[in-house]
Amino acid sequence: MQRIKHLLNLAAAPACFLLLVLIVWESVTRLLRVPSYLLPSPTMIVSTVASDFGSLLAHTAVTMAEAVTGFALANVLGFGLATLFAHSQTAQRAIYPYAIALKTTPVVAIAPLLVVWFGTGIVSKIIASALICFFPILVNATRGLRAVDQEAVDLFQSLAASKAQVFAKLRLPNSLPYVFSALKISTSLSVVGAIVGEFVGAQRGLGYLILVSSYHLESNVLFAAILAAAFGGSLFFASVVILEQVLVPWAAPVED
């Protein structure tokens, strides 16, 4: 009961602020008679969501499937490379500059190439999502795997522990708060990557819906798609937070 009250107290201020924004937004669009193609009212957006719920849900499912798959792919590969970096500084010096170059290259610039190479199907969207998620897990996991007390490492070695045992029982548990910090960052990035991929070439998904509705000046549909993307990303983030609380209950939060 106490935990529920704490959660309600945390949600009260954001909920009140959102309600205030919606009231002002609705009032401005009605009083100033703002054209719906410029700024639809909240009630119009809600009506669009209700009337096109099935179609919106289908597009959201496609985008979230791309985002989750790209998220998983990026984090598996990123953690594997971080493990290599944690055990070999030579490998890190050789590969890390290219990871930085990949990070600094906008996904929107790479997305057309992905469509050329992999087509307009789901594969190019998954890769676009994975590319944008890759760097956070690489950096944080490398830091977490290396941020172990040297005295603890010496103790393991004095007990004749193998490198695999040191990794599994010392480095890996120590890295989990850092890893989950990266995972929480990547939840939103994965959705962004999938939508950017859909902008370039797609027949379905929220990015496709946003693009088509902007061409037709259907701002109510555009806002509904943006709302669906925000909701999907928030739900994804919340699931990772819950997983963190289950798997890493002992760790203090690491700043994102």
Query: Closest Cα partner for 125 from 184, 180, 195, 46?
Result: 195
Model confidence, pTM: 0.84
Q: Determine contact, residues 127/112, Cβ cutoff 8 Å.
A: no
| Range of the structural domain that residue 146 is part of | 50-247
pLDDT tens per residue, range 239-250: 998 888 888 876
User: Are the CB atoms for 145 and 177 separated by under 8 Å?
Assistant: no
Q: Is residue 24, in this structure, part of any structural domain at all?
A: no
How many Å apart are CA 235 and CA 184, to the nearest integer?
A: 11
Domain assignment present for 141:
yes
Residue 33 counted as domain residue: no
Going 141 to 143 to 147 to 150, the CA torsion angle's sign is: positive
The answer to whether residue 217 sits within a structural domain is yes
Q: Domain containing 70 — which CATH number? A: 1.10.3720.10
Asked whether the predicted pLDDT for residue 251 surpasses 80, the reply is no
Lowest average pLDDT, out of 133-137, 157-161, 215-219, goes to 157-161
User: Biggest alpha carbon distance in the chain?
Assistant: 77
Which of 193, 64, 197 is CA-nearest to residue 133? 193
What's the domain count of the chain?
A: 1
pLDDT tens-place string over residues 188-235: 899 999 999 988 888 889 999 999 998 888 899 999 999 999 999 999
3-state secondary structure of 253: coil
* pLDDT (tens digit per residue) in 163-180: 777 777 777 888 888 889
Asked if the structure places residue 31 within a domain, the reply is: no
Q: Is residue 223 in a domain?
A: yes
Size of the chain, expressed as the number of residues it contains: 256
Q: For residues 116, 117, 120 and 125, what is the CA-based torsion angle, rounded to 10 degrees?
A: -120
Examine residue 10 and state whether it is found in any structural domain, yes or no. no
Judge whether 23 lies within some domain. Answer: no
Cα distance between residue 114 and residue 112, in whole Å = 5
